[in-house]
Amino acid sequence: MKKVLSLVLALVMVLGVFAGCGNETNVDTSSKADTTSFDEVKVGFIFLHDENSTYDKNFMDAADAATKALGLKEENVKYKTNIPETSACYDAAAELADDGCDVIFADSFGHEDHIIQAAKEFPDVQFCHATGTKEHTEKLANFHNAFASIYEGRYLAGVAAGMKLNQMITDGKITAAEAKMGYVGAYPYAEVKSGYTSFYLGAKSVCPSVTMDVKFTNSWFDIAKEKEAANALISGGCVLISQHADSEGAPKACEEAKVPNVAYNLDTSGWGPNTAIISSKINWQPYFEHMIKAVAEGTKITSDFCGGLKDDVVQMTKLNTNVAAPRHTGKA
């Protein structure tokens, strides 16, 4: 299910560079926002689940924020939730197009083929798809992929993890050789591999002796399996855990075992007040605003959009200083 970029790490990084260039022009358009009227623009969003999934909630919050910031009429923003990666996705997209939507966005990797089918049938409607890979092979004028250089955030999260390890070494809790991290991954997929590679490199940049074990759950969302994987890593000697999976499983396991955790997609300090350090996340608001502005102004939607830290597309959540610097709360 869901998200995912299909290229190897190197290619992801190359894309990131291209998108970096593309984004500057896209940020420029924001200055014209007040001169454009969004009264007539209709947007449709297709979500795999609803707000109970952290993955979809991240998209829904951004969609709320973007449509509100641009002042779209409420009746012109249509959400379709719990749309599976089947022909039901094509049906949902076609229904939104029938309703007069100018641009339709889908948030899950497996939606892509069904959205492409709809894009072929409705050439006057723009279709945008998160985490997909087929824009450059399909070559449709109205189908666009978008993602984020989340590895940038993962690297920073890794630096935070490495600093925590250094602190544990200094405090004599572990030796330098025992600085082993655990990573709970969803699938052995490019996006996940890129994520943990950057995370590891970030940690290594400050803590040279660090090592890392990875366990896959083979599911994007499975509370029990993620918890189980985190616990297995902890009993295997990992002293810090991070994850690329969408549930509270790993953060909660860490809180129970009193092992520091670095998370993804949302601030998890609620689940782990004594163990959550920081999270990296994707902020979709800039892309949603770009896509809506483009259809309002009749300009082109950036192809293979891939924003990073400098575009505010990749963000870090608030550092939980209680965990990051227990003896010097507030000190950087």
Partner 1 sequence: MTNNAVKHSEPLLRVSKRAEVVWWKGWIIRGISIVLALIACAFIIVLLTGQNPIEVYGALIKGSFGSSRKVWIMLQNLAMLLCVSLAVTPAFKMRFWNIGAEGQVLMGCLATSVCMIYLGDKLPIGLLIPIMLIASVLAGVIWAVIPAIFNANWKTNETLFTLMMNYVATQLVAFCIVFWENPLGSNTVGVINSSTQGGWLPVIFGQKYLLNILVVAALTVGLYIYLKYSKQGYEISVVGESVNTAKYVGINVKKVIIRTMAISGAICGVAGLLLVSGTDHTISTTTVGGMGFTAIMVSWLAKFNPALMTLTSFLIVFLDRGASEIATAFRLNESVADILTGVILFFIIGSEFFVNYKLNLRKKHNQGNLSASAKEGK
Where do contacts with partner 1 occur on this chain (CB under 8 A)? Answer: 1, 4, 6, 50-51, 74, 78-82, 84-87, 91, 94-95, 98, 109-110, 112-114, 117, 133, 187-190, 192-193, 218, 220
Q: Which two tokens stand for residue 42?
A: 């209709």
In whole angstroms, the minimum distance from the beta carbon of 60 to partner 1 comes to 10
Contacts of 220 (CB under 8 A, 6+ apart): 1, 2, 3, 55, 186, 187, 245, 246
Closest approach of partner 1 to the CB of residue 284, in Å: 18
Nearer to partner 1, 80 or 164 (CB): 80
CB of 189 to partner 1, least distance (A): 3
Minimum separation from the CB atom of position 35 to partner 1 (A):
28
Helix %, strand %, coil % for the chain, to 5?
50, 15, 35
Which whole-number Å values give the CA distances from 137 to 129, 134, 174, 304, in the listed order? 14, 5, 50, 11
- The contacts of residue 172 (CB under 8 Å, 6+ apart) are none
* Segment holding 45, helix H or strand E: strand 43-46
Smallest gap from Cβ 48 to partner 1, in A, equals 11
* Nearest residue (CB) to partner 1, 94 versus 250: 94
Distance CA 253, CA 244 (A): 15
Q: Which is nearer to partner 1, 72 or 168 (CB)?
A: 72
Nearer to partner 1 by Cβ, of 140 and 316: the residue is 140
Residue nearer to partner 1 on the CB measure, 28 or 124: 124
112 vs 226 by CB, closer to partner 1: 112
Among residues 193 and 297, whose Cβ is nearest to partner 1?
Answer: 193
CA distance 154 to 165: 16
Question: Rounded distance, CA 297 to CA 293, Å?
Answer: 6
Q: How far is the CB of 197 from partner 1 (least distance, A)?
A: 14
d(CA 245, CA 258): 20
Degrees, nearest 5: CA angle 51-154-53: 10
Distance CA 272, CA 267 (A): 10
CB of 187 to partner 1, least distance (A): 5
